[in-house]
C-alpha cells in the first residue's frame, strides 16, 4: 500500500504545481518541461504520473473543482436551503486570491473545451453536478417557505450559475468589473429576487 499512497500523493503535488503555473501563465504557455522543473522532477519523470499534458490539465481542472467543493462542504456545515446556497455561491465567486487563481484555471480550461470534446465533457459534468445541488437547495428553501412556489428551480439555478460563471470570466479583464464588495452585493440582490 505505501507505494500506491505515494503515487497518489505525487500526483496531487504535480497537479498543485500545474494549477499554480496555469493560473499564472495560461494553459498554452505552460509546458510539461516547466511543470517538471517547478515540481523538481527530471523532464521525462512526469510520465509515470500523467500520460501527457491533456491528462494533467484535466486533472488540474478536476482538482480545482474538488477543492471548491471541499470548501463548499465546510462552509455549509449544517446549513440548508437558501443559507446553504449562499454559502456555496460565496465559495465559487472570485472573492480572494485563491479563488481568482481558480477562476483563471477555469477560464483557461473553458477556452480549450471549444476544440476538445473530452474537456467539454468534463466541464459539462461539473456544471451539471452544481446545477443539481443548486436545484436541491432551492427546493429545500421552497419547502421551508423561503422561496415562493412560483419560482422555477431549474431556471433560477441556471440563471444563478450563469451569474457565478460570468463573474469568473471578469477576472481576466485587467480591472475587475465587480470588486469583492460588489460581488457580494450582486449576489444578495440575486438571492433577494429569488426569495421575495
Identity of the residue, 44 or 52, whose beta carbon is nearer to a second copy in the bound complex: 52
185 lies in the binding site for a second copy (CB under 8 A):
yes
For position 108 contacting a second copy by CB under 8 A, the verdict is yes
150 is a contact residue toward a second copy (CB under 8 A): no
Site track 26-45 with a second copy (rule: CB under 8 A), x = hit:
xxxx----------------
Distance from C-alpha of 85 to C-alpha of 91, rounded to nearest angstrom: 10
Q: How far is the CB of 78 from a second copy (least distance, A)?
A: 29
Which of helix, strand or coil describes residue 34? Answer: helix
Residue listed under C-alpha cell 496555469: 22
Using CB under 8 A, which of the segments 8-16, 71-79, 82-90, 157-165 binds a second copy? 157-165
Tell me which residue has cell 485563491.
98
User: How is residue 50 annotated by DSSP?
Assistant: -
φ, ψ for residue 79, nearest 5 deg: -65, 155
- Give 56-79 as a 3 state SS string: HHHHHHHHHHHHHHHHHHHHHCCC
Asked if residue 75 binds a second copy (CB under 8 A), the reply is no
Under rule CB under 8 A, residue 16 binds a second copy: no
Rounded Cα–Cα distance for residues 33 and 172 (Å):
25
Binding residues vs a second copy (CB under 8 A) = 22-23, 25-29, 104, 107-116, 120-121, 123-124, 127-128, 131, 152, 154-156, 158-159, 161-170, 172-175, 177-178, 182, 185-186, 189-190, 192-193
Amino acid at each position: 500500500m505505501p507505494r500506491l499512497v505515494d503515487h497518489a500523493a505525487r500526483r496531487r503535488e504535480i497537479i498543485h504545481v500545474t494549477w499554480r503555473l496555469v493560473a499564472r501563465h495560461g494553459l498554452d504557455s505552460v509546458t510539461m518541461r516547466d511543470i517538471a522543473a517547478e515540481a523538481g522532477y527530471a523532464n521525462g519523470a512526469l510520465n509515470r504520473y500523467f500520460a501527457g499534458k491533456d491528462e494533467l490539465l484535466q486533472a488540474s481542472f478536476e482538482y480545482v473543482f474538488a477543492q471548491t467543493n471541499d470548501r463548499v462542504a465546510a462552509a455549509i456545515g449544517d446549513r440548508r436551503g437558501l443559507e446553504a446556497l449562499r454559502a456555496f455561491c460565496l465559495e465559487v465567486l472570485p472573492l480572494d486570491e485563491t479563488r481568482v487563481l481558480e477562476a483563471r484555471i477555469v477560464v483557461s480550461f473553458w477556452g480549450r473545451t471549444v476544440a476538445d470534446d473530452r474537456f467539454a465533457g468534463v466541464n459539462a459534468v461539473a456544471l451539471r453536478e452544481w446545477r443539481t445541488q443548486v436545484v436541491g437547495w432551492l427546493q429545500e428553501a421552497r419547502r421551508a417557505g423561503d422561496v415562493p412556489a412560483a419560482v422555477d428551480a431549474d431556471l433560477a439555478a441556471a440563471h444563478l450559475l450563469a451569474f457565478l460563471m460570468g463573474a469568473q470570466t471578469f477576472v481576466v479583464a485587467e480591472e475587475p468589473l465587480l470588486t469583492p464588495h460588489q460581488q457580494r452585493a450582486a449576489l444578495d440582490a440575486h438571492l433577494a429576487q429569488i426569495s421575495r
